[in-house]
Amino acid sequence: MKTIKELISESLTEVAATRDINRQNSISRVYKACPELKEIDDQILEVRNSRFIAVIDKDERLIKRFDIAEEELLTKRGRIIARNNIEPDFDEEKFICSECSDTGFVKTADGKVSVCPCRENELEMCYEQSGMADYPSYKMKNYRDDYLGDASGRKKIKGMMNDLLKELIGKSREESKSYIYVYSAPPQTGKTFLSICVCKTAIKLGKSAYYAKCEELSALGTDTLEALKHIDFLVVDDFADTVTLSNNVGSVLNTLLETRAASRLNTVLVTPFPVNELVKKCDMRISGKLQSAKKISSEGR
Ligand SMILES: [Zn+2]
């Protein structure tokens, strides 16, 4: 898996090449329409080359002559450009995206750094590589508080998830004591939808994030598992006590939680079961961690 920063950084060479091609195209277009300008530019180039040799020869008289010649040519050039309505910067390199100056990132109204809309392809690629290939349509703007009833509960949970995002973006993580969160809500209340939206938002804000189903953890490749230890934000969905007791999932999850907590990285376990029930039945190592985890829930359970 690659982070959004890596994906954007990898594309920068291609963007620079495109900028150069655009510049070359613009120059040949203008020269074709105005051969007179090309002639002057060739002459300027020639004068500059000759002046360069005069400098090496330390021939002050000749240097002066070339300086005057260049000045005359430049005046002539200015006149040609004005007369033919040519953009004066036609031979300069221009940004392809003026919004982000081709960096791929922009500042939002509230001062956060966010991926520029011109990098939608890289974003989609990153979502796919971050465990969300099956959920292309899950977008935060489509999340409705009143969709499945319990509007106030959904709104409350969304607020808590947003706080988590703010914590992720801000610098308050050092002050936080707990890095494991349990998002517990009954089945069919939109947990997966919200979890994926939060993961995508984190990526959009330039962070590394991953969405995984709990039962799939033991099937992930070692490279991915290693990456999950270090990414900024991890969501483990469909977390259940029975899952932790099968296929080595308990051991894999326990290692992840321990490594991530030591690096002060946030992990959210998403579950349809009440936390106190999970604590009783889970893999022992994970039970202990659940007790001190922060709760994300619409009720006081
Ligand atoms: Zn842009």
Cα-to-centroid distance, 168 and ligand 1 (Å): 24
Q: Tell me what pLDDT residue 27 has.
A: 97
Cα-to-centroid distance, 105 and ligand 1 (Å): 7
Q: Do the Cβ atoms of 169 and 203 come closer than 8 Å?
A: no
Regions in the chain scoring below 50 on pLDDT: 301
Comparing CA positions, the residue from 106, 90, 6, 110 lying closest to residue 41 is 90
Q: Tell me what pLDDT residue 158 has.
A: 87
Distance CA 126, CA 120 (A): 10
Q: Do the Cβ atoms of 293 and 269 come closer than 8 Å?
A: yes
Cα-to-centroid distance, 212 and ligand 1 (Å): 30
Q: Tell me what pLDDT residue 299 has.
A: 72
Q: Tell me what pLDDT residue 154 has.
A: 83
Residue type, 39: E
Q: Which CATH number fits domain 134-296: 3.40.50.300, 3.10.20.520, 3.40.50.1010, 3.40.120.10?
A: 3.40.50.300
Q: Mind listing the pLDDT tens digit for each residue in 54-68?
A: 999 999 999 999 999
Beta strand 209-213 pairing with 105-107: unpaired
Distance CA 252, CA 216 (A): 10
Cα-to-centroid distance, 100 and ligand 1 (Å): 4
Comparing CA positions, the residue from 259, 199, 196, 207 lying closest to residue 228 is 259
Q: Tell me what pLDDT residue 301 has.
A: 39
Cα-to-centroid distance, 232 and ligand 1 (Å): 24
Q: Where are the domains of the chain?
A: 4-83, 134-296
Q: Mind listing the pLDDT tens digit for each residue in 7-51?
A: 999 999 999 999 999 999 999 999 999 999 999 999 999 999 999
Cα-to-centroid distance, 99 and ligand 1 (Å): 5
pTM more than 0.75: yes
